[in-house]
Amino acid sequence: MAANVSLYRFRKRAFVAFTHVSLIVLSFVIAFPILFALIKSTQTPAQVFSYPPKFAFGPGAVQNYSVAWHEYNLGRLMLNTTVVAFAVTVGKTLLSLLAALALVYFDFPFKGLIFVFILVTLMMPIPVRIVPLFDLVRKLGWGNTYWALTIPFLASATGTFLFRQHFMSIPASLVDAARVDGVGPMRFLWQILVPMSMNTVGALAVIEFVYIWNQYLWPLIIISSNDNQLIQIGLKMLTGAGPQGMVNWGVAMAGTVITMLPPLLVFILLQEQFMRGFALAEEK
């Protein structure tokens, strides 16, 4: 009996140790590209192209980050992207709240069919709609403007789905009590539903901000002026050949590290709401 207990304890400790080692290895594998970019952003071109590769911080950090920031105008590009991402995130959240309110608390013909159609749009990414969308934006005269970068992204099937599922979990007795008190739909939304949905709002905000921050194809096509361009196009410029026909990967990695900071900051600020929002979604 004692031998069986000892064997069980040994197996349990071995399993725990194996689990921790596996998690540490996987965490390192996931974090390695970021660590690699951070190290290379501090190295000179000679160190970057040296063989065997050097995995130590170099003396070129100040120069690489200065060149990336000033010569490639990353500050202006990041400001443009921040404005567009903030506008789209706020607009998507508001429209998603209103759409979910209508789908859950209002009765109108073909409501179920309309919700299915909204979900179908999830299978139609931007590359599929790029040609008709470009033609429409050009006819509206929005080419090379912030309107072209914001208006087409304001509708969100993901946001509508998340808020609809959350609203459906709210007890019907709360809705009945609000009706008895004479609370109108908009007041019910802003004073009752929104405070109860802050975790979902936070989760959606993180998703949409990162999504807009990573936009590449649409800005590349619709924006022709560098002053109105977004940050992902700026990163592409960093990988262009230099005077000697070679890419300065130290500068490119420095620009990459800089552009990771705003989305990382947004995630850190909304991490608790992000995790709670999806935990609630899984419970439902």
| CATH at residue 169 | 1.10.3720.10
Q: What is the token pair recorded at 147?
A: 């309107």
d(CA 284, CA 278): 10
Task: Give every residue of the chain whose pLDDT is below 50, as ranges.
Answer: 281-284
Question: How many residues would you count in the chain?
Answer: 284
Residues 181 and 57 placed together within one structural domain of the fold: no
Residues 236 and 96 placed together within one structural domain of the fold: yes
d(CA 142, CA 8): 69
- Give the three-class secondary structure for 73: coil
Q: Using CA of residue 68, residue 69, residue 70, residue 74, what is the dihedral sign?
A: positive
Residue 149: per-residue pLDDT: 92
Residues 28 and 132 placed together within one structural domain of the fold: no
Residues 158 and 42 placed together within one structural domain of the fold: no
d(CA 2, CA 260): 55
* Helices 157-168, 271-283: inter-axial angle, 10-degree rounding: 60
Q: In terms of Cα–Cα distance, which of 198, 175, 197 is closest to 185?
A: 175
Q: What is the token pair recorded at 176?
A: 């009945």
Q: What is the pTM of this model?
A: 0.84
Residues 82 and 207 placed together within one structural domain of the fold: yes
Contact indicator for 171, 129 with CB cutoff of 8 Å: no
Residues 51 and 145 placed together within one structural domain of the fold: no
Residue 209: per-residue pLDDT: 93
Residue 243: per-residue pLDDT: 56
Residue 2: per-residue pLDDT: 57
Contact residues for 116 (Cβ-Cβ < 8 A; gap 6+): none
Q: What is the token pair recorded at 264?
A: 């990382």
Residues 46 and 161 placed together within one structural domain of the fold: no
Contact indicator for 80, 229 with CB cutoff of 8 Å: yes
- Give the three-class secondary structure for 252: helix
Q: Could you say which of 45, 61, 77 is where a domain stops?
A: 61
d(CA 255, CA 249): 10
Residues 242 and 141 placed together within one structural domain of the fold: yes
Biggest CA–CA distance in the chain, Å, is 82
Residue 241: per-residue pLDDT: 56
Residues 83 and 221 placed together within one structural domain of the fold: yes
Residue 284: per-residue pLDDT: 45
Q: In terms of Cα–Cα distance, which of 259, 216, 243 is closest to 68?
A: 259
Q: Could you say which of 32, 61, 90 is where a domain stops?
A: 61
Residues 137 and 43 placed together within one structural domain of the fold: no
Domain that holds residue 103: 64-283
Residues 57 and 72 placed together within one structural domain of the fold: no
Residue 29: per-residue pLDDT: 92
